Structures are given as C-alpha cells and as structure tokens.
C-alpha cells in the first residue's frame, strides 16, 4: 500500500503550457518497499519525510500526554519522577528533531523543486541518504527508553554536567542518535542550498523566488552554521563521559557554563530554523486566499535575513541567571528585543496583505490566520522574557513553557498543517474534506489555547518547569492544561483521517487548485506527476 | 543540455563551499573552548580565580565601606568529605586583610585526594579579590578519618567597584583520581609525619602549603 504517491500519469487533463512532456527515459520504479528504500525522487522522499514526521508527532505527543496525565492533579499518581523526566526530555527531543524539522524538510523536498521549476533536487541520492538516516537515529534514541537506567532524563537541553556526570548510561546512545540526526539535517541543508542556487528556472532571479524558497534558503544556511556546533558540543560530552576529558567538568578545570554558551549558540538559531520556513508557508497562503499579492515582498526577504543574522547574537538570553556580568545582560537583552523589529515587519506585512483583500476562509487560510494571531502572542511573551530583570522571575517557570509552546505549536505546527492542507490537492489530486478540516481546525485552536494559555498564569505564579508534582495552588491551571492537552491530542486524529481520506479520493483538484494561487507549482497538473519540469519552464515575472 | 552541465558545475561548487563552511564551524566549536577561557581570563567574568598566591598589597584600609563576604562550601558525590567554614559570613573593609578557617573532614576510612574549586560571585569582583593563601591552590590529601583545618587569607582591593556590597566565595570539593600507586608512595614518603598524628582533630597546617 503506497497510496500517497501520485500515480504514474497517463498524460494529464488540464495541463498548462508549462507542464512537461511525457516521462520518457525513466525506468519503471521497482515495486513494494524496495522502491521506497532506493527512491531518489524528490516527491517520494518528501512524502517519506512527511509520513515519518507525522508518526513522530504522535509518538512525541503520547509522551506529552503521559506528562500531562501525571500533572492532572497534584501528587504522584501514575509514574515515577525518574520516568517523568525521561518523558519530558523525550517529548522535547522527538518534537524538535524528529517532528518539526523533518516536516519542514519534507515540505522543502516536495515544494522547492516545484516552486523554482527544477526537475528534482540537486543531489537526489544524497537526498535519499539524508532521509533514511532519520529512522535509524530515532529508533536508536527511542530504544534508550528500554535500556537499563532508562533514556535521557536531563531535559532536551541536556545541560552538562547533569547529562555527563549524572546522566544515565544510555547517554552515549543519545549522543550517537543526535549525531546521526544532525548529519541528516546537514546533508538536507546542503542539498537545498545547491538546488536553490543552481537549479532555478531560466529567468528566475533570487528576488523572484517564492518566500517559502527564500525562507528555506536562509534556514539551510542557519543549519550549515549551527549544526556543526551542536555536533561539536555533543562530541565534547562524549569525550567527557567516555574518555576522561574535562570540557564541562569543573573538577578537571572545565566549565559547565561553557556548555550552556555552546549549546545556546546552536540552540537559538535552531529556534529560528523551526520557524522561518513557517513564515514562508504563511506568506504563500495569505496572499492566495486574500487574492492580493504579498505586501512588501522585498522587506519580507530582508526581515528573514535580519532575523537569521540576529539569531547569532542573542544566545545568552537563555542564561540570564547563570551570573552574567551586567554588560552582557544588557547586550543580550537589547539584541533580543531587536529581533522583534524584523518579526514585527513580517506580521505587519501579513496584516497589510489581508487589508481590503477578498478573503475566503478555507482550512489552509484558517490555520495561517491562527498562526499570525497565536504566534504573535508567543512573540509577546518572548519579549517579556527578554527583559533580563523580569526573566529572573520567569526563568525556568511554566511561563517559559507557555511561551515556547505558543511559538512552536500554533506557530510551527499550525503552519505545517496549513501547508499540508494547502498543497494536498497538488500532492494527491484531491481536495481535503473541507468540513473535516474545519472541525480539525476549531478543535485544534481550542485545544491549543486551553492547554497552553493557563501555563502563563501558573508560571507567573511561580510554578517551576520539569517537575512531576506541584504545590496545591497550581492545581486548577494544571487541570485545565491537562484537559486541553488530551482534547488537542485527540483532535489530531481528525488530521490523520483527513489526510488518508484525501489520498484515497475526494473532490478532484485542477492544476491550479486555489483561485488566487500564483507560484510555479500550480502550473503542473494535480496530482503532480512523478517527474515534472524535465524541460525547464519559462518563468514569467509577475507584473508589479 | 548546456545549461544542465552548467548547473552541475554550480552544484559541485556550492557543495564544496558548504562542506568547507561545515568543517570550519565544527572547528570553530572546538576553538571556542580555549577562546572562552582566554576571554574569561582577560575579563575575569566567569568567577574563576587565579590558582596562585598573590602578595599582599599594603594599602590604606577604607573604613567607610563594609563588605559582607559570604562563604559557601559544597561537597560532591564520589568524595566522602565534609568541608565547612568557621563562619558563614564576615564583614571586612576594602584593603583589610582577613583570615577564615576551613575544616576538611574525611568521613571514610580510606585515604583520598580532593580539590576545592573556587568560584566568586558577583564575577566582576574577581579581579579585586587577592588570595594570599588558599587551600584551593593545590590538591588536598586526607588519610582515613583525618580532619584538617586550613586558613584562607585574602584581601579585597580598595578599587572594588562601588556597587558591590556582598562577595560570595563558593568552594566545591571534587575528588581527584591519582594513580593509586603514586599516591600511596607519595604519602608514604612525604606524609609519614602527618599519618603519625592522624585522627587528631583540629590539626592546623601552615596555610595549606605543605600539602
């Protein structure tokens, strides 16, 4: 069963001038599982990435529900604190490295060649390799849960020496898994950069590229810059644990604070790696459903680049309480606040695009609009956290948890879902069931806010993060959060149902599935045939 | 086909450049370790103190300022020692020399080596703290059940920034793993005198220098 694949086309209906001739010269793909193991087709690999990511989204989600079940009421009811710590850690690691990042890479694989008029990614075999590293990495990571001493229990930030001197014996496997996942991201990034820089349709300049391509180009550069730093940090951990070095061990002259500097030098750009492609998706969807060109295209590009550059100068705002000197606190406070400027430019551009547009509210648009509103709430709580003296109070409380879940769940995840609903007609040739998608949307919005909004209050009142038990005064907020979490988790089954139904059938979609859509992907038939743009399309610049 | 060949050349160039950048960033991560140390040493902002004795600077004691100096001691798993300061805090004037006794107790029956690693908070007080004598300058060796008292002699410089009213000195004990052979040989040769007077509580060593 591989229904997600676009069937081999007996040449299409409704093909526009730009679409390809018949796929001559391609051997019939091998059958069964072997086909998926050796595929070098960007669409098939994109599909693999998306299915993998969805699977991991549910595994990470189950871990989150274990956490929320334990926090449903004060006291220890269901699980041991040690296992609780493993659940919070694994939830974070899986969601960041196995759900959000591969989902964006999957979308990039599917859409970047289609949006720039390339026949495939620049390095198709490398593409296959990058994907198949992921199941290896995360099988290894998940298997640590069954090892003696359990899986990683030191939080997704794996601060040394908690993870080196005091970590479980399985930490070495955790490091290896992260190394493999990191290599996968790096190879994916190299491929994306090579594709975007060299394989654009003739006549398409960089400043003609759709914003999803632009944001991914910037993201890929961020990956190239910081993934090696992560690799370096975990290599140092590996040596501290196994070879007696003392990079982070104070007893041997090392410095635990150095770990935090190195980690967040990777970690903060990583945050933008998880949100910039989301900006690109939303910048494609809002103009389509507002039936207006995107307002301020150039400023969007510059804002993306500015966010990426600033992301290297703000890392220590995660460390305001380690005892930084006053000058450093001030520098990182102001540089962090500075990021609100390019981000604000983006939000204003989206709103201005909506202004006097003829808006319709199909499911991709609903998710994109919810993204704009809820991501902005996450941005505001981020500004609150950027204030160093205030952060002394907020640090390591549920306020931080509320903040980053607002930017990641209704931020990154909603944008991914918006993108999936937006491009499903292109992938499968069928529109998703709109009624089901709208139910999914409203349940998700209610679930997300019910889960994460009370966490702001719990955090401001002083509830620390990463604890399995809490003081009685936080009971009501936690009750609400837990109910919301189960509601949100269950409603994601509607998403799976919608995707499966859409793959199997539904209203037929034409090549240009949405009235206001303009980019190159809408010039190839729906479903997109396995091979597209074998002769480069002629790119017509939109007249502006 | 021409443009496709061109694209291939371009792809190769891009890949070579990105891989060069990757290797550069990986090396940069490791280069940050010594760079960080150098940066901290120059600016003195991570609270690390020079592990060498400094000489007393005779300067006029600033009677107008009273600085509260706090002492925190911490053990660590793997070393069955207890470390305690004779007082948790004391008041000193900038320029004044002060002395406080620290007691190390080995709660096990076997000999161990340990080291107290210092840290100063706020970190910008570090350059203004002169340690004339400190047990933290070298490793300590304790026989089983031995107790050892060593003074810390320090002086806060007169140019201590005006906004600092409290200076906290934190000492964390860490086990030091010597090759057992060497250690026991060492102790046999050098510490016979001490092991004779073992178990005598409150043995005062001369500023930790003979250890």
Find, in chain A, the residue whose alpha carbon is nearest to that of B51: A253
Joined tokens for residue A162 = 């908690």
pLDDT tens figures, A150-168: 999 999 999 988 999 889 9
Check residue B123 and give its pLDDT: 77
Task: Calculate Rg over the CA atoms of chain B.
Answer: 25
Q: Backbone phi, then psi, for B91, in 5-degree steps?
A: -105, 130
**From CA A42, how far away is CA A382, in angstroms rounded?**
36
Instruction: Write the CB contacts of A20 (distance below 8 Å, at least 6 apart in sequence).
Output: A524, A529, A531, A532, A533, A534, A535
Chain-centre distance for alpha carbon A138 = 16
Cβ neighbours, 10 Å, residue B209: 12
CB contact B19 to A (< 8 Å): yes
Q: Which of A17-21, A45-49, A358-362 has the lowest mean pLDDT?
A: A17-21
A543 has catalytic annotation:
no
- Judging contacts by C-beta atoms under 8 Å, the chain A residues touching residue B72 are none
- The pLDDT of residue A216 is above 90: yes
**From CA A277, how far away is CA A196, in angstroms rounded?**
14
- Catalytic residue, from A214, A272, A297, A394: name it: A272
- The pLDDT of residue A500 is above 90: yes
Joined tokens for residue B70 = 């706090």
Which residue in the block uniquely carries the two structure tokens 């409203």? A442
Mean pLDDT value of segment A480-506:
96
Q: Report helix, strand or coil for A165.
A: coil
Find, in chain A, the residue whose alpha carbon is nearest to that of B18: A190
Q: Which of A299-313, A449-463, A480-494, B162-176 has the lowest mean pLDDT?
A: B162-176
Check residue A538 and give its pLDDT: 84
Most confident of A28-32, A143-147, B181-185: A143-147
Find, in chain A, the residue whose alpha carbon is nearest to that of B43: A325
Check residue A94 and give its pLDDT: 97
- Cβ within 8 Å, pair B11-A236: no
**From CA A172, how far away is CA A412, in angstroms rounded?**
30
Mean pLDDT value of segment A520-544:
86
The alpha-carbon gap from B25 to the nearest alpha carbon of chain A, in Å, equals 6
- Catalytic residue, from A346, A395, A405, A440: name it: A346
Whether the ω angle into residue A527 lies within 30 degrees of 0, i.e. cis, is yes
The beta-carbon neighbor of B11 closest among A186, A194, A202 is A194
- The pLDDT of residue A252 is above 90: no
**From CA A303, how far away is CA A298, in angstroms rounded?**
8
- Judging contacts by C-beta atoms under 8 Å, the chain B residues touching residue A263 are none
- The pLDDT of residue A75 is above 60: yes
- Catalytic residue, from A35, A261, A291, A465: name it: A465
Extended beta strands in A186-323, E state:
none
- Judging contacts by C-beta atoms under 8 Å, the chain B residues touching residue A536 are 3
Instruction: Write the CB contacts of A517 (distance below 8 Å, at least 6 apart in sequence).
Output: A288
The beta-carbon neighbor of A247 closest among B33, B45, B117 is B33
**From CA A306, how far away is CA A338, in angstroms rounded?**
10
- Cβ within 8 Å, pair B122-A233: no
- Cβ within 8 Å, pair A228-B174: no
- Catalytic residue, from A16, A40, A156, A159: name it: A156
- Cβ within 8 Å, pair A224-B117: no
- Cβ within 8 Å, pair B26-A229: yes
B170 - beta bridge partners? B72, B119
Q: Is A163 exposed, middle or buried (0-12, 13-18, 19+ CB in 10 A)?
A: buried
- The pLDDT of residue A177 is above 60: yes
| Run of H or E including B149 | strand B147-156
**From CA A276, how far away is CA A223, in angstroms rounded?**
12
Check residue A25 and give its pLDDT: 58
The beta-carbon neighbor of B33 closest among A186, A250, A258 is A258
- Judging contacts by C-beta atoms under 8 Å, the chain B residues touching residue A193 are 14, 18
The beta-carbon neighbor of B124 closest among A190, A251, A325 is A325
Q: Which of A92-96, A111-115, A179-183, B37-41 has the lowest mean pLDDT?
A: B37-41
The beta-carbon neighbor of A325 closest among B21, B22, B45 is B45
Helices first, then strands: H and E counts in chain B: 3, 10
Find, in chain B, the residue whose alpha carbon is nearest to that of A326: B124
With the C-alpha atoms ordered A486, A491, A495, A501, is the resulting torsion angle positive or negative? Answer: positive
Q: Which of A360-374, A404-418, B157-171 has the lowest mean pLDDT?
A: B157-171
A540 has catalytic annotation:
no
- Catalytic residue, from A42, A68, A200, A317: name it: A317
ipTM of the complex: 0.85
CB contact B72 to A (< 8 Å): no
**From CA A444, how far away is CA A427, in angstroms rounded?**
23
Structure confidence at residue B187 as a pLDDT band (50, 70, 90): very low
The strand pair at B112-121 and B166-175 is best described as antiparallel
Cβ neighbours, 10 Å, residue A155: 16
Q: Which of A53, A46, A40 is nearest to A129 (CA)?
A: A40
Q: From the candidates A121, A164, A232, A270, which should be mutated to test the interface with B, based on the most B CB atoms within 10 A?
A: A232
Which residue in the block uniquely carries the two structure tokens 């792809």? B11
A465 has catalytic annotation:
yes
- Catalytic residue, from A39, A144, A163, A283: name it: A283
- The pLDDT of residue B92 is above 50: yes
Check residue B159 and give its pLDDT: 87
If one compares B184 and A371, the residue with the highest pLDDT of the two is A371
The beta-carbon neighbor of B123 closest among A194, A323, A536 is A323
Mean pLDDT value of segment A337-366:
96
CB contact B23 to A (< 8 Å): yes
Q: Report helix, strand or coil for B48.
A: coil
- Cβ within 8 Å, pair B15-A226: no
Looking at chain B from residue 155 to 194, which residues have their Cβ under 8 Å from any Cβ of chain A?
172, 174-176
Cβ neighbours, 10 Å, residue A483: 16
The alpha-carbon gap from A292 to the nearest alpha carbon of chain B, in Å, equals 34
A427 has catalytic annotation:
no
A343 has catalytic annotation:
yes
Q: Which of A152-156, A309-313, B34-38 has the lowest mean pLDDT?
A: B34-38
Which residue in the block uniquely carries the two structure tokens 């349940």? A443
**From CA A477, how far away is CA A487, in angstroms rounded?**
15
Cβ–Cβ < 8 Å for A74, A470: yes
Structure confidence at residue A539 as a pLDDT band (50, 70, 90): confident
Joined tokens for residue A257 = 């604070």
Q: Which of A380, A257, A264 is nearest to A311 (CA)?
A: A264
Find, in chain A, the residue whose alpha carbon is nearest to that of B25: A228
A283 has catalytic annotation:
yes
- Judging contacts by C-beta atoms under 8 Å, the chain B residues touching residue A182 are none
Q: Above pLDDT 90, what percent of chain B?
A: 18
Q: Report helix, strand or coil for B124.
A: helix
Mean pLDDT of chain B: 78
The beta-carbon neighbor of A231 closest among B26, B40, B175 is B26
Total beta-carbon pairs less than 8 A apart between chain A and chain B: 94
- The pLDDT of residue A320 is above 80: yes
- Cβ within 8 Å, pair A251-B174: yes
Q: Backbone phi, then psi, for B98, in 5-degree steps?
A: -135, 155
Task: Calculate Rg over the CA atoms of chain A.
Answer: 23
Mean pLDDT value of segment B56-72:
86
Q: Backbone phi, then psi, for B74, in 5-degree steps?
A: -135, 140
- Cβ within 8 Å, pair A228-B175: no
- Judging contacts by C-beta atoms under 8 Å, the chain A residues touching residue B115 are 251
Measure Cα distances from A181 to A131, A353, A494, B68 in Å: 9, 38, 29, 50
- The pLDDT of residue A304 is above 50: yes
Q: Which of A281-295, A322-336, A360-374 has the lowest mean pLDDT?
A: A322-336
Check residue B196 and give its pLDDT: 40
The alpha-carbon gap from A236 to the nearest alpha carbon of chain B, in Å, equals 8
- The pLDDT of residue A2 is above 50: no
- The pLDDT of residue B66 is above 50: yes
Torsion, Cα of A341, A344, A346, A351 (10° steps): -150
CB contact B117 to A (< 8 Å): yes
Check residue B2 and give its pLDDT: 63
Check residue B179 and give its pLDDT: 52
Residues in chain A: 544
Measure Cα distances from A188 to A36, A221, B76 in Å: 18, 11, 43
**From CA A498, how far away is CA A431, in angstroms rounded?**
10
């Amino acid at each position: 069963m591989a229904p997600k694949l676009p069937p081999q086309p007996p040449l299409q209906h409704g093909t526009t001038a730009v679409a390809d001739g018949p796929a001559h010269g391609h051997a019939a793909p091998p059958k069964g599982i072997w086909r998926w193991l050796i595929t070098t087709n960007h669409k098939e690999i994109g599909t693999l990435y998306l299915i993998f990511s969805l699977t991991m989204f549910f595994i990470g989600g189950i871990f989150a529900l274990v956490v929320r079940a334990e926090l449903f009421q004060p006291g220890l009811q269901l699980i041991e604190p040690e296992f609780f710590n493993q659940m919070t850690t694994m939830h974070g690691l899986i969601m960041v490295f196995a759900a959000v990042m591969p989902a964006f890479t999957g979308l990039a694989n599917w859409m970047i060649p289609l949006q720039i008029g390339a026949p495939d990614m620049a390095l198709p075999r490398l593409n296959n390799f990058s994907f198949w590293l992921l199941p290896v990495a995360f099988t290894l990571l998940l298997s640590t849960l069954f090892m003696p001493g359990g899986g990683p229990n030191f939080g997704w930030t794996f601060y040394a020496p908690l993870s080196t001197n005091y970590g479980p014996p399985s930490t070495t496997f955790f490091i290896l898994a992260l190394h493999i996942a990191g290599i996968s991201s790096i190879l994916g990034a190299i491929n994306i950069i090579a594709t975007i820089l060299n394989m654009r349709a003739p006549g398409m300049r960089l400043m003609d590229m759709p914003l999803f391509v632009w944001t991914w180009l910037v993201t890929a550069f961020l990956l190239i810059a910081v993934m090696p730093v992560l690799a370096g940090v975990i290599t140092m951990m590996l040596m501290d644990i196994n070879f007696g070095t003392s990079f982070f061990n104070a007893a041997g002259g090392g410095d635990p604070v150095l770990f935090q500097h190195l980690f967040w030098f990777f970690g903060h750009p990583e945050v933008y790696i998880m949100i910039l492609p989301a900006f690109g998706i939303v910048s494609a969807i809002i103009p389509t459903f507002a039936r207006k060109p995107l307002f301020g295209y150039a400023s969007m590009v510059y804002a993306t680049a500015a966010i990426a550059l600033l992301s290297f100068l703000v890392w220590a705002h995660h460390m305001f309480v380690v005892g930084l000197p006053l000058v450093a606190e001030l520098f990182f406070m102001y540089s962090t606040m500075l990021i609100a400027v390019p981000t604000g430019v983006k939000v204003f551009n989206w709103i201005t695009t909506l202004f006097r547009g003829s808006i319709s509210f199909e499911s991709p648009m609903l998710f994109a609009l919810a993204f704009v509103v809820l991501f902005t709430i996450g941005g505001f709580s981020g500004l609150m956290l950027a204030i160093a003296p205030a952060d002394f109070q907020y640090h390591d409380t549920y306020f931080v948890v509320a903040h980053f879940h607002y930017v990641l769940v209704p931020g990154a995840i909603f944008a991914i879902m918006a993108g999936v609903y937006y491009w499903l007609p292109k992938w499968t040739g069928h529109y998703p069931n709109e009624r089901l998608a709208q139910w999914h949307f409203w349940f998700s919005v209610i679930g997300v806010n019910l889960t994460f909004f009370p966490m702001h209050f719990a955090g401001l009142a002083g509830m620390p993060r990463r604890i399995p038990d809490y003081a009685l005064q936080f009971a009501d907020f936690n009750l609400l959060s837990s109910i919301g979490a189960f509601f949100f988790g269950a409603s994601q089954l509607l998403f799976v149902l919608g995707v499966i139904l859409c793959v199997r059938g539904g209203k037929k979609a034409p090549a240009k599935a949405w009235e206001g859509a303009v980019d190159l992907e809408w010039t190839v038939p729906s479903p997109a045939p396995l091979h597209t743009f074998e002769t480069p399309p002629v790119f017509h610049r939109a007249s502006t | 086909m021409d443009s496709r060949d061109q694209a291939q050349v371009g792809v190769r160039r891009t890949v070579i450049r990105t891989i060069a950048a990757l290797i550069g960033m990986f090396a940069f991560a490791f280069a940050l370790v010594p760079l960080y140390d150098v940066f901290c040493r120059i600016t003195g902002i991570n609270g690390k103190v020079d592990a060498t004795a400094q000489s007393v600077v005779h300067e006029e004691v600033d009677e107008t300022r009273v600085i509260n100096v706090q002492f925190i001691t911490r053990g660590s798993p793997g070393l069955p020692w207890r470390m305690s300061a004779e007082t948790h805090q004391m008041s000193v004037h900038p320029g004044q020399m002060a002395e406080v006794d620290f007691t190390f107790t080995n709660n096990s029956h076997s000999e161990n080596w340990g080291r107290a690693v210092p840290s100063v908070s706020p970190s910008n007080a570090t350059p203004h703290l002169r340690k004339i004598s400190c047990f933290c300058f070298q490793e300590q060796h304790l026989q089983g059940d031995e107790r050892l008292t060593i003074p810390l002699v320090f002086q806060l410089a007169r140019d201590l920034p005006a906004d600092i009213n409290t200076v906290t000195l934190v000492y964390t004990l860490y086990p030091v793993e010597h090759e057992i052979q060497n250690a026991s040989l060492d102790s046999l040769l050098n510490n016979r005198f001490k092991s004779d007077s073992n178990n005598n509580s409150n043995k005062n060593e001369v500023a930790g220098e003979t250890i």
